[in-house]
Every structure is written in C-alpha cells, then in structure tokens.
Amino acid sequence: MSTRVVITGIGAVTPLGVGAETLHTRAVAGLSGLNDENENGLGGKVGRCLDFDVKNPLSRREMRRMDRYTQLAVAAADEAIAQAGWGGGLPCDARRITCYIGTAIGGLDTLETQHLVMHTEGAEEVSPLTVPMMMANAAPAHISMRHGLHGETTAIVTACSSGAQAIIAGVRSILLGEADAAVVGGAEAGTTRFTRAIFNAAGAISPDGNSTPFDEERNGFNLGEGAGILVLESAENARARGAEILGEIAGYGLSSDAHHITAPNPDGKYAAYALNRALETAGATPEQVSYVNAHGTGTELNDTTEVNVLRQALGDALENIPVSSTKSAIGHLFGAAGAVETIATLQALRHGQAPPTLGLKNLDKRLGRVRISGEPQDLAPGTFSAEDGTPKRLGLSNSLGFGGHNVTLAIRA
C-alpha cells in the first residue's frame, strides 16, 4: 500500500479487564477471563467483562439507551480516542473521519430481554427504545455522536470476521482519500442464555470449558463478550500533529470460501489466498513474519483447517513463527474477535512477547510442526526495516467467519 495507514490509539474491554495494556499483560501472565457457569443445564465457561463499570464512562440516561454491546464499544472507543490525543479536539475535518464497527449479532441482550417482557408482562410493556438499542449500527452511531464524527458511519456484519473487516473498511476510506482518520473495531455481548443455548444445540460450545485451541483434547469454544477499537490515521496526518504512532496496518487480504454457511473449506486454499494477499500488500515475505495470532476457536475443524492454511501460505517459515490463540483466555467474542485480536497482535509486537495458548498441554500431533505453546513466546527483533532503518516486527491476525469470510490483517509495530 503506497499511503501508510497508522494506528494512533487502541482501546479494549475484555474478560481479562479494561484497557488494551491490561489485555496484553494479563494474557502474557497466563491469566484467564473465563469463569464456570452452570445455568439451565448449560455447563462450560463464559468470558464476561466483570471489571467493566458501565457507570464510569456513561451517564444513567446513556446507559438506558444502549445495549451492552454498544456500552462496551463506547468504552473502548473512549480509551482509543484519548490515547490518540483527540481529547482537545479532532485532528482534522470531522467530515473526513469515518467510523466502522463490526458486530455479528448486535443488541441481542435487548432483544432477548424485551422478548421475555412481551411474553410475561404483555406487548404494551415492551420498551419503545428496543429498536435503537438492538440495531446492529447502534454502536458506530453512538460513537460518532459522542465524538462528533461526521464521516461515513457504518456497521459491518460478517459474523466472526466483522471486527477485522471493519478495520479494513477504515483503512480503505483513508487509502481512497475519502478520510484522513477512522475509528474502527468490533463489539459483541453474546453471552446471553439464548446465545449459549443455540450454540450448545449446534454442538459448538465446549461442554466442560476445555476450550484449548490446538490441544488434542479440545472440544469446542467458550463464549465471551467485549470490544476492541482502534484509531487509524494517514501517516501524514499523524506526523503533522506530532502524534505517537503505535503501529501500522501494513496490508490485508480478504476472500470467500463460497463453500458452506458455517464450516470452513477444509482445503483452505481461499483462506490461504487472503493471507498471501496480506503479505503481498504489506510488501513482506513469510520469513519476515514475527508472530501469527490465529483465529483458533478450539473446534477440530477450525484448528486443522487453519494450520493447513498457515502451512500453505507461509511454507517452511511457519515452523519458526510463534502462533497463539487469544480465544483461549477470553473466549470467542464473535464480531469483536477480529478487532480485539488485532490489538492483541499489535501489543505482542510492541512488547516483543506473544501470549500463550492458555491451557495447551498436548499439541495435536496431526497439526504437524508448528510453534504453538502453552507458555509465552519471545519474539525476534524483526527483519522489516522501517523508514529510519530500524527493524520492525510484522504480525498477522487471522479471522474466519461463518458464511466463509476469510480475513488476514498484516500489522507492523
């Protein structure tokens, strides 16, 4: 990509705590954000944002008008925008700041609650705020209103790749010259009883919480909630105002399996195409990759397919590249996953240490030779020279969504 799109702010609210730094430090320390919950016969573990105090960023009036997924998104956006240094005012024309937030489901908590109200108290008791709270575009709408962003404001809905595709939408708006900056990311609050019931019925949830991606005893994923938001700017805009640059969206790749509504294509060739495109647009080779944050859900089909994809795209270099799954510590965040994992990737590159695949004891031998560990892994200094000649680490973040959506982001720190 000729124009550089840089990252000047990051914010995260996850089951590991509040804050992008908290996400990294607690993940590397081997802490889990998952808790045992047994409700209505649904066992396993759930990742809830227990440290999140909604009264801190929001007034009572705002709280009553937002679904939990929007509340999480707004809190993460506040952190990212503050770190970007926008507290004293926007860095450019507000009409040239876009906002794209991904979600797989949107205001499911509101939908479930109001559906219950209708059947227990009557249709006349349903809240008139139900539609604006449950609509998928509520999060980007509230973020734009809160911060006065007047560029294109859109919700991206592509299942588990939504957050990653929202980041790409922001990148494209800058590359096309339609924006100078973008607020992007993903949010989800999919830990409701209904969500747990439907994924349990589909046999996707780990019945005992043993969701350890790539482990030979893995048996499904755990549900989680959270949000990850990034502030993107053109390098020119960031430099002009003296902003600290945390990293760069160096490249990206997208494709569609066009194979099955929920299952990935086992041959992985189209997901490998997306990964290759990410490297190509970043101007990098497999040997220059310092870290891969895998989609890593903990289902046998996903894990085996994804390692197959990595091997096709990275070849022999894969054996020397640390790989891990953030979902092992926070659960599957659905539409927020790609954004939170992009932040986790950036943080791993910046701090030089990849978080572990938590709980991994016995790597599935069928996966072959791949550097996946239950312990943190130190990252090499990096071989990709920046403009000042300093080696910079390059990382990849994979997202695979129901519907066959394949997304890979290349991040340089």
| pLDDT tens, residue by residue, 161-181 | 999 999 999 999 999 999 999
Residue 40, pLDDT score? 61
Lowest mean pLDDT among 297-311, 321-335, 360-374, 385-399: 385-399
d(CA 87, CA 267): 48
What does the pLDDT average to over 74-87? 97
User: How far is the C-alpha of 102 from the C-alpha of 169, rounded, in Å?
Assistant: 10
Instruction: State residue 47's pLDDT score.
Output: 96
For all residues of the chain together, what is the average pLDDT? 94
Q: Where does the pLDDT of residue 2 fall: very low under 50, low under 70, confident under 90, or very high at 90 and above?
A: low
The predicted structure's pLDDT at residue 211: 85
Please give the Cα distance from 20 to 33 (Å, whole number).
14
Q: What is the pLDDT at residue 382?
A: 82
The pLDDT score that the predictor gives to residue 37 is 82
Strands 153-156 and 97-102: parallel
pLDDT at 297 over 80: yes
From first CA to last CA, the distance across the chain in angstroms is 16
Stretch 235-264: mean pLDDT, rounded?
A: 96
CA-CA distance, 42 to 147, in Å (whole number)? 40
Residue 1 has pLDDT above 60, yes or no: no
Question: Would you state the torsion angle of the CA atoms of residues 397, 398, 402, 403, taken in this order, to the nearest 10 degrees?
Answer: 110
pLDDT digits (tens, 9 = 90+) for 205-249: 888 888 899 999 999 999 999 999 999 999 999 999 999 999 999
Single-letter code of the amino acid located at 16: L
| 3-state secondary structure (DSSP) of residue 230 | strand
The answer to whether residues 86 and 147 touch, using CB atoms and an 8 Å cutoff, is yes
pLDDT at 208: 84
pLDDT band at 42 (very low <50, low <70, confident <90, very high): low
pLDDT of 20 over the 60 cut = yes
Q: Which residues pair with 66 in a beta bridge?
A: none
Q: What is the pLDDT of residue 204?
A: 87
CA distances from 20 to 167, 204, 342 (A): 16, 28, 11
293: β partners: 324, 397
Q: Quick check: helix, strand or coil at residue 184?
A: strand
Across the chain, how many H-helices and E-strands are there?
13, 18
What's the confidence (pLDDT) of residue 172?
Answer: 98
Using DSSP bridges, classify how beta strands 45-47 and 223-234 pair: parallel, antiparallel or unpaired.
parallel
pLDDT digits (tens, 9 = 90+) for 126-143: 999 999 999 999 999 999
What is the average per-residue pLDDT within 248-260?
97
Looking at the annotation, which residues are catalytic? 160, 295, 332
In the predicted structure, residue 43 carries a pLDDT above the cut 70: no
- The residues facing 184 across adjacent strands are 100, 230
Rounded to an integer, the average pLDDT of 99-112 is 95
Q: Cα 134–230–258 angle (5° rounding)?
A: 65
E-strand ranges in 159-270 read 181-189, 223-234, 247-256
